[in-house]
A and B are shown apart, each in its own frame.
Chain A
Amino acid sequence: MRPYLRLGVRNITQSKGRTAVTLLLSAFSTAVLIFSTAFMDGQHRVMLKNAVETYPGYIQITHENFRDNPGYENLIENSDTLVQRLQNDPRIGSISQRFETYVLLSTKEHSVGAMIAGIQPQKEQTNSILAKSLHRGKYLQKGDGNAIYLGSELAKNLQVKVGDTLAYIGNGVDYSFCADNVVVKGIFQTGLFQFDASSAFVSKEYFDHMFVSDNLATHIVIYPADIDTANELAQKIKPQLPPALHVQSWKEFMHTLVQAMELDSIFGYITLAIFFIVIFFVILIYTLLNIFARTREIGVLRAIGTGKKQIMGMLLFESTVLSFAGVLAGGAIGAALAYYFNLNPIELGAEFEKQFKQYGLVSSALPTTFEPLTILRDMGIMFVLCMASTLYPIVKINAMNPVEAMHHV
């Protein structure tokens, strides 16, 4: 090892104050950055996941005119065949059909217009959180006849409980008249007020029988095997569809929510930046104190012929070692935390549940994300920051001439 590097090592081990503070702070800030990123990303992921899985799904196939004009003219024909053809694709986790229509729900005293959808209960369990949002009673299952699964606000407006009977009136696909009595099997609460106030579900078998919608659907919803590739998968499905159909990933049909999450991240990073400014200054101050305490020593080194470059090298070596060690330690702590809370989501108390529901968070459990690449990125950022905070004193001391430095008190 070259002599000045050895000097550098000695300096690190001897000036305990600076070493401790630099290590602690760089480790702390790295851990904070990694954890905050993991927490924020995790929170956004849960919010998006909830919003997507509450009902819309990751990928939707519809008739190309359905979104503008949701009527029986714009249906997916031969939906069974299409689903059969698509479901062999290994990139598709699960695929289900839905048929949505607008009916009048009615009890003896109250009548309310609402959306009713025929769903495939089993498949819908992975495609949406309808099953998990169960509030009272039971979720639907295959073979359920006239059993209805009702939004909590809708149940409230109709003043019905589990086990009560209500009637619906609507039109079948052939525009025939459709009406039947159904028994409330379960009541769900997703927390999305509008959805809970206007949606009801029955099993698609029963629905098809009543609404004459065999082999027809308004939506085919796909849950990708890897949810991060929803966009790409949607692109790949496009050419396999008949020309009148349209496929979109959630990033397209929920883009305002995606944008909202990005905005929230920006605010999060700005807040973190405030912490990092302080940390930057503290490391700067400690490096400065340490290096200036050695002004005389450096003057002597220069006087006996050590080059500016070598001294610069020594000082840079010191801060590199310190920053690297700190960032590494912090990275390990941050990654460990991110990993731990990824497996054991943070539980926020029930008192905040309402607040979260407003933003589409169904549960108050927030798992962090654990993504090695993001962690490495954050470590890189912190390493650069730590190094940058030591540069000023290093440059400053190198600008002194040896005699000046030797006489420095």
Chain B
Amino acid sequence: MMTKVLALLLLCSPLLAQSAQEIIQKVEDNLRGESAQMELSMIVHTSRGKRTMKMQSYSVGDEKSFIKILYPLKDRGITFLKIDDTMWQYVPRIERIIKIPASMMLQSWMGSDFSNDDLVKESSIAEDYRQKLLASDAESYTLELLPKEQAAVVWGRLQMRVSKKYFLPTEVKYYDEKGTLIRILSYKEVKKLGDRFYPTYWVMLPQTEEKKGRKTEVIVKDATFNEAIDPAYFTKRALKRFSR
């Protein structure tokens, strides 16, 4: 009897681990695809009210992305380029391309609850974390993501819920090293966009006392996936060229 149970366990655990990895892989594929073009709105809520931005984004895998701000008019034409771990920004008002230095990486991106680093490093959940399946119910899997020792991430642990139906995340909780919940990112309102189902409403909700009352919403208006994007977007020259 005992040996049978043991054998079963031995068989099962790699399976479980495998599936956790598989889940993440599927999630990443679904979220990103080979390439993506999107039109987004970002609404930043603070104790002082809310502010809406609109932008256009182009990306290839998780290595390259290009973002252009469309609205408000004051900020129209600001562009961002990310290639691997480096980020540049072009600001038409000052006609200058700026490379975001190390000291600014953790500053807020455009006043939102996302940091520059979030945009740059958003990439590597499959690479930087060890995944473990914590629970599974009728609707979703709950995964625990523990950063690999050498991974340059500040989080102590992530907890991700993935919907079984779409293999898309529904919620990611970010904890620090001491186990305190720092922020929650939720993905909602899955709709069919182009060739796939996609969450069209994201909310980042900081949990620390310092950031009480803040919230950033992202609304995906339109998206196409796996369609060829002009490689010219991913050069430093594009920052200026596609600003207009």
Residue interface mask B128-155, A partner, CB < 8 A = 1: 0000000000000000000000000000
| Interface segment, one of A169-177, A199-207, A351-359, A366-374 | A169-177
The reply to whether B210 and A69 contact each other, CB–CB distance below 8 Å, is yes
Q: Which of B48, B103, B108 has the most CB of A within 10 A?
A: B48
Partner of B211, one of A68, A73, A172, A174: A73
Query: With an 8 A cutoff between CB atoms, is A143 at the interface?
Result: no
- Chain B hits for A102, CB < 8 A: 107
Q: What is the CA–CA distance of A180 and B96 in the complex, to the nearest angstrom? A: 10
The reply to whether A169 and B111 contact each other, CB–CB distance below 8 Å, is no
Query: With an 8 A cutoff between CB atoms, is A108 at the interface?
Result: yes
- Chain B hits for A167, CB < 8 A: 91, 94, 96, 98
Query: With an 8 A cutoff between CB atoms, is A316 at the interface?
Result: no
What is the chain B residue whose CB lies nearest that of A110?
Answer: B101
The reply to whether A173 and B75 contact each other, CB–CB distance below 8 Å, is no
> Contacts A106-B98, A112-B101, A176-B74 hold; do A171 and B46 have CB atoms under 8 A apart?
no
> Contacts A69-B210, A175-B112 hold; do A181 and B44 have CB atoms under 8 A apart?
no
Give the size range of B's interface with the partner: 20 to 34
Q: What is the CA–CA distance of A289 and B160 in the complex, to the nearest angstrom? A: 94
The reply to whether B91 and A113 contact each other, CB–CB distance below 8 Å, is no
Partner of B91, one of A68, A108, A179: A179
The reply to whether B101 and A73 contact each other, CB–CB distance below 8 Å, is no
The reply to whether A181 and B94 contact each other, CB–CB distance below 8 Å, is yes
Query: With an 8 A cutoff between CB atoms, is A227 at the interface?
Result: no
The reply to whether B107 and A175 contact each other, CB–CB distance below 8 Å, is no
Q: Which of B78, B91, B108 has the most CB of A within 10 A?
A: B91
Query: With an 8 A cutoff between CB atoms, is A268 at the interface?
Result: no
The reply to whether A176 and B111 contact each other, CB–CB distance below 8 Å, is yes
Q: Which of A69, A173, A174 has the most CB of B within 10 A?
A: A174
The reply to whether B104 and A177 contact each other, CB–CB distance below 8 Å, is no
Partner of A108, one of B89, B96, B101, B103: B96
Query: With an 8 A cutoff between CB atoms, is A395 at the interface?
Result: no
Q: What is the CA–CA distance of A55 and B111 in the complex, to the nearest angstrom? A: 27
The reply to whether A169 and B103 contact each other, CB–CB distance below 8 Å, is no
Quick one: which of A142-200 are within 8 Å of B by CB? 167, 169, 171-177, 179-181
- Chain A hits for B101, CB < 8 A: 104, 111-113
> Contacts A72-B46, A73-B210, A176-B72 hold; do A171 and B98 have CB atoms under 8 A apart?
no
Taking the nearest CB of chain B, how far is it from the CB of A208, in angstroms? 15
Query: With an 8 A cutoff between CB atoms, is B194 at the interface?
Result: no
> Contacts A176-B75, A179-B93 hold; do A169 and B98 have CB atoms under 8 A apart?
yes
Query: With an 8 A cutoff between CB atoms, is A307 at the interface?
Result: no
In addition to A73-B47, A106-B96, 7 A-B residue pairs with Cβ atoms within 8 Å of each other are: A69-B210, A108-B96, A171-B111, A174-B49, A175-B44, A175-B46, A179-B93
Residues of B near any A CB (own CB < 8 A): 44, 46-49, 51, 69, 72, 74-75, 78, 89, 91, 93-94, 96, 98-101, 103-104, 107-108, 110-112, 210-214
